[in-house]
């Protein structure tokens, strides 16, 4: 009941706001060097050394407020770029706006990709017959807390999951509430594999939210870029990277702009810790009824205040808010061992 009321209030809160004072960048055509391609919501394609890594995209945009959800296959086919060279698909959590379109994309646009995610994602993908192409990363997740204390783990190389020109690591993270401190989508978690995909929106529980550390490797297997990715805002220290003793800094932070006002110090505390060279906004555009060619800011959230704050407080970090389906070139590589 409370959830239904909140959905109505969210609906009454009005339309998404037009962009104002922000600086989305559009890079077309595709840059010749390595790049991030924003797919909208939590979706990205990382282009590196002829390979592609896919971060769970979402195109279906069910009507607002979403109650029953189903992948819009025509819309996915129209918008999702060809990703047949993607061998990896990383999933941060299993809510419908991150997982609903994944089964169709795994069959059609990314037919080689293995999906890596949490237990819920595995149970749900089983419902689409894709369990054999899924790896549960929750057992290998790097934790950020001990009891009630924040305690970064010092991790060794064996926590990396290698795959071609990439390797990646799952980090314990957290899902921000959607509104008024409440997570509207957190229904009961599954204990076993499904036999078909659910349609009721709350039957897509997020599960344990994962942040990802992703290395882009050279021919010798050494990291050239290190990327930190979150598909949900979180309270510190959730999502914070572990201590890695290889001297490689984090070059790029992909943050989640949605619901930053529902948590403390996001992404500021993270930026203070990882000091990236480049920060890109993900999940920044209003999700409902939106067209990628005409993105608008999220309803009931003052994103311009977030943008202004980050610009003022982190002048040394390049900050980019890309339009959906455009490219962000990676900065030139730094020599290994430089940085903090
Ligand atoms: Zn979510």
Supply the CATH number for residue 292's domain. Answer: 3.60.15.10
Q: How far is the CA of 177 from the centre of ligand 1 (A)?
A: 9
In this prediction, residue 14 carries a pLDDT of 41
3 within domain boundaries: no
Query: Tokens at residue 100, please?
Result: 């609903």
Q: How far is the CA of 291 from the centre of ligand 1 (A)?
A: 20
In this prediction, residue 145 carries a pLDDT of 76
Q: How far is the CA of 275 from the centre of ligand 1 (A)?
A: 25
Enumerate residue ranges in the chain where pLDDT < 70. 1-28, 287-292, 300, 336-340
pLDDT tens for 303-336 read 888 989 999 999 999 999 888 888 999 999 997 5
Query: Tokens at residue 237, please?
Result: 């220290």
Phi, psi of 251, rounded to the nearest 5 degrees? -85, -40
Query: Tokens at residue 75, please?
Result: 């819309």
Domain that holds residue 32: 19-324
185 within domain boundaries: yes
Q: How far is the CA of 272 from the centre of ligand 1 (A)?
A: 24
Residue written as token pair 């600086």: 23
In this prediction, residue 7 carries a pLDDT of 42
311 within domain boundaries: yes
In this prediction, residue 184 carries a pLDDT of 78
9 within domain boundaries: no
What is the total count of domains within the chain? 1
Q: How far is CA 316 from CA 47, 143, 292, 293, 336, in A?
A: 25, 29, 29, 30, 20
CA angle 42, 242, 311 (to 5 degrees): 55
177 within domain boundaries: yes
Q: How far is the CA of 335 from the centre of ligand 1 (A)?
A: 36
Q: How far is the CA of 42 from the centre of ligand 1 (A)?
A: 10
Q: How far is CA 148 from CA 144, 151, 152, 232, 237, in A?
A: 10, 9, 13, 22, 11
75 within domain boundaries: yes
5 within domain boundaries: no
Q: How far is the CA of 206 from the centre of ligand 1 (A)?
A: 6
Per DSSP, 156 falls in state: -
Q: How far is the CA of 186 from the centre of ligand 1 (A)?
A: 9
Alpha carbon distance 253, 1 (integer Å): 37
Q: How far is the CA of 20 from the centre of ligand 1 (A)?
A: 25
Q: How far is the CA of 213 from the centre of ligand 1 (A)?
A: 19
Q: How far is the CA of 4 from the centre of ligand 1 (A)?
A: 17
Q: Note the helical H segments in the chain.
A: 2-12, 73-79, 96-99, 102-107, 119-126, 268-274, 303-313
Q: Note the helical H segments in 70-167.
A: 73-79, 96-99, 102-107, 119-126
Q: Are strands 149-150 and 154-155 parallel, antiparallel or unpaired?
A: unpaired
Q: Are strands 278-282 and 161-163 parallel, antiparallel or unpaired?
A: unpaired
Alpha carbon distance 5, 276 (integer Å): 40
Q: How far is the CA of 178 from the centre of ligand 1 (A)?
A: 8
Q: What is the pTM (predicted TM-score) of this model? A: 0.90
In this prediction, residue 4 carries a pLDDT of 45
337 within domain boundaries: no
In this prediction, residue 195 carries a pLDDT of 96
Q: How far is the CA of 246 from the centre of ligand 1 (A)?
A: 32
């Amino acid at each position: 009941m409370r959830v239904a009321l909140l959905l109505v209030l969210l609906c009454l809160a009005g339309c998404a706001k037009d962009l104002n004072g922000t600086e989305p960048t559009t890079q077309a055509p595709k840059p010749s060097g390595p790049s991030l391609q924003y797919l909208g919501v939590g979706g990205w394609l990382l282009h590196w050394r002829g390979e592609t890594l896919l971060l769970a995209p979402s195109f279906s945009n069910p009507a607002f407020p979403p109650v029953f959800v189903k992948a819009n296959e025509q819309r996915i086919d129209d918008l999702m770029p060809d990703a047949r060279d993607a061998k990896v698909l990383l999933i941060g959590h299993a809510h419908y706006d991150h997982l609903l379109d994944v089964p169709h994309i795994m069959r059609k646009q990314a037919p080689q990709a293995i999906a890596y995610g949490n237990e819920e994602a595995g149970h749900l993908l089983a419902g689409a017959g894709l369990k054999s192409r899924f790896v549960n990363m929750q057992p290998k997740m790097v934790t950020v807390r001990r009891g009630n204390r924040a305690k970064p783990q010092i991790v060794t190389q064996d926590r990396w999951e290698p795959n071609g020109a990439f390797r990646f690591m799952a980090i314990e993270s957290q899902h921000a509430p959607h509104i008024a401190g409440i997570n509207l989508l957190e229904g009961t978690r599954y204990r076993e594999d499904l036999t078909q995909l659910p349609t009721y929106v709350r039957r897509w529980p997020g599960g344990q939210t994962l942040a990802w550390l992703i290395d882009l490797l050279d021919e010798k297997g050494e990291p050239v870029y290190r990327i930190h990715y979150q598909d949900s805002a979180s309270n510190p220290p959730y999502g914070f990277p572990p201590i890695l003793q290889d001297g490689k800094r984090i070059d790029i932070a992909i943050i989640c702009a949605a619901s930053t006002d529902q948590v403390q110090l996001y992404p500021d505390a993270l930026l203070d810790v990882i000091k990236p060279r480049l920060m890109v906004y993900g999940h920044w555009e209003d999700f409902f009824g939106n067209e990628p060619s005409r993105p608008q800011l999220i309803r009931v959230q003052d994103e311009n205040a977030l943008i202004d704050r980050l610009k003022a407080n982190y002048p040394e970090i390049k900050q980019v808010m890309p339009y959906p389906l455009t490219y962000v070139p990676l900065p030139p590589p730094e020599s290994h061992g430089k940085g903090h």
